[in-house]
Amino acid sequence: MKCFGSRQIAALGLAVFAALFAIIGFGDLGFWDAVNGPGPGFFPGIMAILMLVMCLVVLFQSFRETAAVVYTRDELLIVGCGIGVAVLAFVIGLIPACALFVLWWMKILEKESWKNTLIVLAVCMAIAFGVFQEWLGVDFPLGIFEELI
């Protein structure tokens, strides 16, 4: 059996994070309303449970690995982007932070054309507003723009 390393620590940390969000999604946000159907915690609750299961699968599989763990530049960029989106969500709001992330991902990492980038950005923003804001009633952090609205 292998010792605890960064893969196990990351899997356990994300499993705790997923469990916390499952509790918030099912409890505080309201998973299902008898009259209106899915509530604000519907999608986050389901995603948290899926994330928890996947973290546990990764944790158990990581003990089978025999080679040394090597992180690539792309893996570290994704982690950095996740941290950047989380920080920017409190500064400029979640939707603008996610829009910047999609733009960065499509133009810098994927090297897509502006046409494809803007189409993907429009679809992502339509889903974010249509599904989460309007249908499920999720209030996104607005950052500094909250005072302007």
Contact 91, 79 (CB under 8 A): no
What is the domain extent for residue 13? Answer: 1-70
Contact 138, 40 (CB under 8 A): yes
Tell me what the mean pLDDT of segment 74-92 comes to. 90
Per-residue pLDDT at 144 exceeds 90: no
Residues 59 and 112 in one domain: no
Report the first-to-last Cα separation within the chain, whole angstroms.
55
- Measured CA to CA, the distance from residue 128 to residue 122 in angstroms comes to 10
Lowest mean pLDDT across 24-33, 69-78, 137-146: 137-146
**pTM recorded for the entire structure:** 0.65
What are the two backbone dihedrals, phi and then psi, of residue 92, each rounded to the nearest 5 degrees? -110, -5
Per-residue pLDDT at 113 exceeds 60: yes
Residues 79 and 66 in one domain: no
Tell me what the mean pLDDT of segment 65-92 comes to. 87
Q: Number of folded domains in the chain?
A: 2
Share of the chain above pLDDT 90, in %: 44
pLDDT of residue 149: 58
What are the two backbone dihedrals, phi and then psi, of residue 37, each rounded to the nearest 5 degrees? 85, -140
pLDDT of residue 145: 67
Share of the chain above pLDDT 70, in %: 95
Residues 110 and 80 in one domain: yes
Tell me what the mean pLDDT of segment 71-77 comes to. 87
Residues 64 and 80 in one domain: no
Average pLDDT, the chain: 87
Residues 55 and 99 in one domain: no
Residues 76 and 52 in one domain: no
Which of residues 70, 98, 126 is at a domain's end?
70
- For residue 124, give both structure tokens: 């992502």
Instruction: Output Rg (C-alpha) for the chain, integer angstroms.
Output: 18
Which of residues 38, 70, 102 is at a domain's end?
70
Which of residues 70, 89, 115 is at a domain's end?
70
Residue in 36, 37, 20, 16 with CA at minimum distance from that of residue 28: 20
Residues 81 and 56 in one domain: no
Residues 33 and 49 in one domain: yes
Residues 52 and 32 in one domain: yes
Residues 53 and 75 in one domain: no
pLDDT of residue 130: 85
Residues 58 and 92 in one domain: no
Greater confidence, 67 or 1? Answer: 67
Greater confidence, 142 or 79? Answer: 79
Residues 115 and 78 in one domain: yes
